[in-house]
Structures are given as structure tokens and as C-alpha cells.
Structure 1
């Protein structure tokens, strides 16, 4: 199968290449055909040939997030494979024909020789390569953002589900308690207690319910108190001795029960205890619903702050701690799932820095997320975050006690597309994004690492005029 100069000149990328150089390209290469479904290259194949699609099309597929996905389609006149000055060595995916296709190919050795002889041809192919790198980088950065968003969304869905489920359970239980009110009212209406004693009981109940300094009990101490109250209720013929658990929750003591007992006639004690138990249960459910609602509100606010802080495209004066705290909230589920404790030492007098808040959030997210992944293999870990002022800079140090970064790859961790994670767990752009954003803010990022101690030091200038 032959190819002509005119056919090559019809390819937009090669229109400005002189005829003699196109003839050279024809002489060193060959033309072949592949049927639909056949592959022009496979995963891991050496990138040692340049291909020009003369007719037909191929689709590029690679593993992303653990699954093989189609990344792009290269149609007629497209150029792929080896290009001058490219550092790619092996194919990360495969190229498969989507229809009967005709290709031109030449070897990397011939093309390298051509770069010495033919300037315009080299210029055209280098331009093709830079366009490819730009498009691929843009696509990978978008994939990285979507991948990070997917991880955050999964954690947030779990975080939101817990308080939402608690609200649903609390509301159902609260309805059950409300149904008891008519019967309790009937019993309470028959009581004959002196007004000053009613006030005494009422004040005690209100004091316990509104108490904000209830002691934090160990499981053993709590069990002891419940047993004591259980015995007291049993001795006083209480119908529902499970009331003891609720009484302990609100810090009621045996002295409190004795006081209540002294204020009412003995046969009526059961009615008062029943009413008190219903009231305490209702209060507890209302508190649970309130706390769950507050948790949802905090999560929603964190999401809004995390994602929409850059509505103004100009830099703003920011408290660096706000972004770190929001990021920890967003990653809270993943931290707990990996059994990682967070310790922070914040200098609350730290001056504000001029920055893009959303960009800074990407820095903290990528570093902390990498730390979690590193410590996850140990089943637990500790993330320590410290801030301080270092002369004219705000310094943030993020340390983890994971396995560390091997010396032989330490110099590569900020390179685009370099990753030590398993296939599907990252594209190798996280730390490249960190480095780019920090430099954009005239700052610096350094890393030191030994087994059990990896430290990222991020510095931003206080005055960035």
C-alpha cells in the first residue's frame, strides 16, 4: 500500500512541511491496515513507533479507578505514538480500531535521525507532541479532580447518612413518647400533692435537665450507678426499673430519688417516676435530633466553604487554619475509617496570608489524603499538623507516621503523573498540583522522610504584594 505527498500534506499538522521532507518520511516508513477490534498497540508496549491515521479511527483506553475506560478517540489525520523529544517509554493503555483503518508508521530510530536532517518536519511533530501533552494533562487533571470529588462525596454521603438516620430514628421514637402523654396525663391529673412539693420536684427536674457540667463516666462507674438506682427502684416497687439508665444520663442520684419520694405519697411514686422517665426520654430524643441536625448543618457549611471560596478570582486575606479545619471535616470519614488520630498544634496568633482559598484547600486535601493512604496499610496512624510564623512566612507542617518515602523516588514525587499508588488509586497529579499552587503563591514546599516519619513543610509569604 502506497502513500503520497499530497495525502500527507492534507494532514493539518504537516501542511507546512516541505515536500522533500515528506518524501523522506514516506521512504523510511510503511503503510498497513487493521480491522475493527484489532489493536495498534497494547498496555505496556514500548513506545518506539510513530503512527499517522490515514483512514479510520482508534480509541485509547486505560485503567482508571480500577476499571478500563475509554480516554479519547483519535480520528483520521491524527498522529500518535513516538514523537520527537517525548520522554514516554511504554504505553499506559491500548489503542483499538473502531473501524477498518489504514495507518502509516515509522520507527523511533528513523524519526530521531530525521530530527537532525529536517527542521520543519521536526517542528510540526514537536508541535503535535506539545498539543498532545497539553490536552492529556488537562484531561488527567480533570480526572484527578473528579476522582478526588468522588472520594470526598463517598465520605460525605456516609457522614450525612449517620445524622440523617439518627434524626429519623429520633423522630419515630419521639412520636412513640408523645402517644404516652394522654395516659400519663390521666394518671398525673389524679395526684394530690401539695403545691410547694410540686415546685420542689419540678425545680429538681429542670435543674438536672439543664445541667451542662454532667460528669463523664467510665463504663464501670456508669454500671455501678445504674445498679444502685436499679436496686432503689426495685426496693420501691417501681414498674419500670429500666428508668435507671435514663436517670444516670441526667445525673440523678439516690438522694434525688429520696427527695422526690419524700414529696409525694408512696402509692403515687410510680406515676411521678413514669412521668419523669417519659420527660427525660423526650428530652434525650430532642437533644439527639438537635445534635444530628447541627452536624448536618456543619457538614453542609464545610462543603460550601470548601468548594465556593474562590467566587472572587483575586487573592484574599485568609486564616490558614480555616482551610485546614474544613479539609479535615471533609476527610473525617476517611480518617476514622483508617483509624487515624489527628493532632494539631496551631498558633492562633498567626497572621493572615493573601491567597486563593480554594487553591489552598487543594494543597491540604492532596497532602492529607496521601498521608491517609500511606498510613492505611498499618491499620492505624497519627497525623500531626502544626503551624507557626517563620520570619516573613507562615509555615504549615504536616507529619505522618506511615512507612515513609523511599530515597530512590523522593526526588520524583512532585513530577507530573508519578505515583506509587496501585492502579486506580491516583493519577500522580496530586503533589504536582500542590507544587504548582504553592509556587503560584510564591511559597515553597519541602519533604523529609524516613520510615515512620514523613514531614511536608509548606510555607507561604505573609506579604505577597
Structure 2
């Protein structure tokens, strides 16, 4: 074991100004230990036993998040870690694993009071170590929280984009196959002999059916019954592909009465050719409509992401309507909302004015509050997310409420503490609500929490003029 002397301690930057007698007190009141690689100084949830000065070896501090190990820092010889004077941390939030055989000098936690009472300069030096550590660790954890949030949003956005993108690909391939049949349909149509007035009548009747498409709300039984009715009608007239045609006609809301009107102007000899040509037009229209709808969904998602991140905007405060930011957050988190079977209720006040905020920062608030609410309701397999906005004189109040099981009484006072989380290991860093509170304070606002076994509500109050 290497010697730990006052001269060696004085060579350490944080302790260089500490009197020798106080350094000797630290040596005399500490435990001197040897730890082998693979041993743990501390694990999540354990009480932080004391102040540790590393004489040799090294230790890695890490957490396990989303099933993955995330390293935060490495403690090297000459560095000080563990519990420090005036620290509010009682329990460890991560693993401290020895990765290289180490010699540690540890001042037991119960001697900290004597340290503070009798060793002013040593206490001052260790407090300085603590403030530096908190600052550096906060930056790391905040960055980690942002990366976790980005990962969640990216996963949800990928799911949201996947459905319309797959639909476009599927419809494009189907449309290509469908268009290969056009030459055959063309020959059939060119062989049709109809009077000019009948051609005009069919045109005047058919194309408005496409433009004025009826969206019928039919049950499966009603739909099948209507398809059978139209199939029988066409089979009586020897129309090929009657079943396929009937399915498309029902989707467009075309009924037997519509077919009867068309039929009066179509010679029976050409019924099959004519109705297959009409069907081809309907199928083409449907696929083009589906492609347009899917493309519009993608465009809306991209627009939502742009507004959510507030790209191409000044990051200062600006008079902003808060509702688009909340709605865009819901759009981006749509996959998680559907996955957890959550009903979303928007009680947005009509008289809520624009307020002076940093939109990108406030979108982080909505994301954290909504994401926490969704996670709270996951255990129920379903739930209701209610977002309410209202004006309260010179303030705007936003309430994000869930009907989950609520927050246990014994931890309610700690939910805004840095690094504290109610989620299981790997699902959160404990920086979400702390970040929310910090952003709201920057906007001169307040946030309150109301919870019970029937659910939890976070109430954000922001001044109109910031």
C-alpha cells in the first residue's frame, strides 16, 4: 500500500491551500482500503458512505439506461469523489466500479460533521470540489437527457413517417401494375358504339360521382351486403370482374340507383367493357388520392418537426401562440399515444393570448410533461390525457393531466430534484422535471403539481409579457 502523507495531499490541486494539520486530521480519521478490479464502491440506491480520495487505480462511474451502459466519468489517482460537505445527495444514482486495482482513503460519512466544525479550510476545499462536480455532472446529465428525449422523439417520428411512406410505395407499385392494363381497356373502350347524347349523359353522371365522393360510414355487415347487391346487379348484365368492381363502387359511395341511371345510356352489349372502364378510372383516382393523402401526412409531420424545434428562428423571446407548439408535440408523439391507447382531450381556451416565450425552450416543457403523463398511464393499458389552457388575468395557465395511478406521497417532495426519477432504471435520468422547472423559471413562471390515486396534473403558469 502506497503511503498517504500530508505532502502528497498538498500536491493535489483542490487541497493545495489546506493547512497540514487539517490534512493530517483527514488521514487519521479515514479508512484506508485496497479494492480489486471488478469491485463496486457504490451501486444505484445505496447510501453514499463517505468522501473518497483515490491514491492509485481508477473507477468508472456509469448508469444503465434504455438497457445500455452509459459511462459518465473516470476517477483517477489524486481525485476526490463520494459524499462531500453540505451535499444533499444521500443515495447513489449510478454505479462506481473499480476498473484497475485501487487504493482508496475514505472519510466515513459520520465524521463529516466534525470535519465541518473543526476544519474550515479543508471543508472549504471539499465544498469547492463539490460545486465543480455538480456543475460538470449537471452538464453531462442535461446533455444525456436531451439525447434520451431526442431518441424517443426520433423513434416516434420514424414510426409516424413509416406508415405513409410505406403506403406511397405500395400505391405506386399497384398503380404501375394497374396502368399496364390500360392498353387492353383502351381497345375495349374504342370498340364501344354509343350515341353522342348517351356519351354526354354517362360523362355528366359518372365524373361528378368521383368529384363528390360519398364517404359512407358502414359496418362490416352493411358493407358486405351492399357489395353483394351490386355484384348481383352486374352479374345479371354479364359484367366481368363484378366482385372487384362492386368493392370499389361501395368505397366511393356509388349505389345501385347510380348504376341504374348509368345503365340507361349504356348498350347492354357493351356493359362489361364500359363498367370495367369506369372501374379503372375509380381505382386510379383512389390510388392517386391515397398517395396525395400519404404525402400530405409526411409534409405535415415535417412541418410539425420544424415548428417544434423552431428552426430558422431567433432563440430569444417572441410573442407566440402556445397552442401550435402543444399540438405539434402531440403529432410527433402520436405513435406513443396510439401505442398506449391514450385518448387526448384538448380544452384550449379561445381567449388565450400570445405570450412572450422562447418557443423552442417551451416545447421541451410540453414534451417532458406529456411524455411523463404517457408513461404514467402505461401501467393501465389505456388512459386519458387532458391538456387545458386558459387565461388568468396577466397570466396563461396550461394544465397537463393524466388519469394514471398518481405519485406516491413519500416522493412527492422530491420530483423536481436533480437526478431524481420515479421511472425504473434505464427509462429516465431524473433531469426531465428539473429541466422543466428551470425553463419555466427563466420565463418568470411557476409550475405546481396535484396528484392523487386518480391521476396527476402539472399546472404551468406563465406571464403574458414574460
Measured against the shorter chain, the TM-score band is: over 0.9
Instruction: Find the partner of 2:254 among 252, 255, 260.
Output: 252
Match of 1:433 among 429, 432, 435: 435
For the residues of structure 2 that align with 1:388 and 1:287, how far apart are their CA atoms?
39
Decide whether the 8 Å contact of 1:309 with 1:357 is kept in 2.
no
Once the 2 structures are TM-superposed, how far is the Cα of residue 281 of structure 1 from its aligned partner?
Answer: 0.7
* Residue aligning to 2:320: 318
In structure 1, stretches of 5+ residues that fail to align are none
Residue 389 (structure 1) aligns with: 391
Shift of 1:213: 5.3
Match of 2:459 among 447, 452, 457: 457
Superposition pairs for residues 28-427 of structure 1, below 5 Å?
28-211=29-212, 214-242=215-243, 243-309=245-311, 311-427=313-429
Cα distance between partner residues in 2 of 1:320 and 1:69: 35
- What whole-Å deviation, never above 9, does each CA across 1:336-387 have from its counterpart, x for those lacking one? 0000111112223421000000111111111111111111111111112122
Structure 1 residue 334, shift from structure 2 partner: 0.3
In 2, the alpha carbon distance for the partners of 1:231 and 1:344 equals: 47
User: How far 1:28 sits from its partner (Å)?
Assistant: 2.0
Kept after mapping to 1: 8 A contact 2:362/2:439:
yes
**Equivalent residues of 1:393, 1:460 under 8 A apart:** yes
Superposition deviation, residue 223 in structure 1: 3.0
Deviation at 1:32, TM superposition (A): 3.7
Q: CA deviation at 1:220?
A: 3.8
Q: Deviations over 1:239-289 (max 9, x none)?
A: 112211111122212122122222121110100111111111111111111
- Change in Cα spacing, 1:170 to 1:69, as seen in structure 2 (3 Å) is same
Aligned partners of 1:310 and 1:356 also within 8 Å: no
Deviates more, 1:365-374 or 1:332-341: 365-374
- Mapped contact 1:310–1:358 kept (Cα < 8 A): no
Asked if the contact 1:343–1:382 (Cα under 8 Å) also holds between the matched residues in 2, the reply is: yes
Distance of 1:101 and 1:415 partners within structure 2: 32
- Alpha-carbon separation, structure 2, partners of 1:442 and 1:90: 32
Check 1:40–1:432 CA distance in 2 against 1; reply closer, same or farther (3 A cut): closer
How many Å apart are 1:432 and its aligned residue?
Answer: 1.6
Q: Give the secondary structure class of the aligned counterpart of 2:242.
A: coil
Aligned-partner Cα distance in 2 for 1:30–1:420 = 34
Which secondary structure state, in structure 2, belongs to the residue aligned with residue 56 of structure 1?
strand
In 2, the alpha carbon distance for the partners of 1:365 and 1:393 equals 21
Describe the SS at the equivalent of 1:73.
strand
Please report how far the alpha carbon of residue 43 of structure 1 lies from its aligned counterpart in structure 2 after TM superposition: 4.4
Range with bigger deviation, 165-174 or 213-222 = 213-222
**Structure 1 length normalisation: TM-score?**
0.95
Cα distance in 1, alignment partners of residues 256 and 39 from structure 2:
83
Deviation at 1:236, TM superposition (A): 1.6
Work out the CA distance in 1 between the residues paired with 2:381 and 2:406. Answer: 15
SS in 1 for 2:264: helix
Residues 44/396 of structure 1: CA separation in 2 closer, same or farther (3 Å cut): closer
Contact 1:375 1:381 in 2 (8 A): yes
SS at match of 1:62: strand
Measured after TM superposition, the shift of residue 448 of structure 1 is 1.7
8 Å CA contact 2:440, 2:447 repeated in 1: yes
Describe the SS at the equivalent of 1:304. Answer: helix
Structure 2: segments with no counterpart, 5+ residues: none
Instruction: Give the Å deviation of 1:140.
Output: 1.5
| Greater mean deviation of Cα atoms: 210-219 or 377-386 | 210-219
SS in structure 2 opposite 1:154?
Answer: helix
Partner Cα separation in structure 2 for residue 210 and residue 74 of structure 1: 71
Deviation at 1:175, TM superposition (A): 0.3
More displaced, 333-342 or 386-395? Answer: 386-395
Taking a change above 3 Å as real, the CA distance of residues 95 and 258 of structure 1, as seen in their structure-2 partners, is same
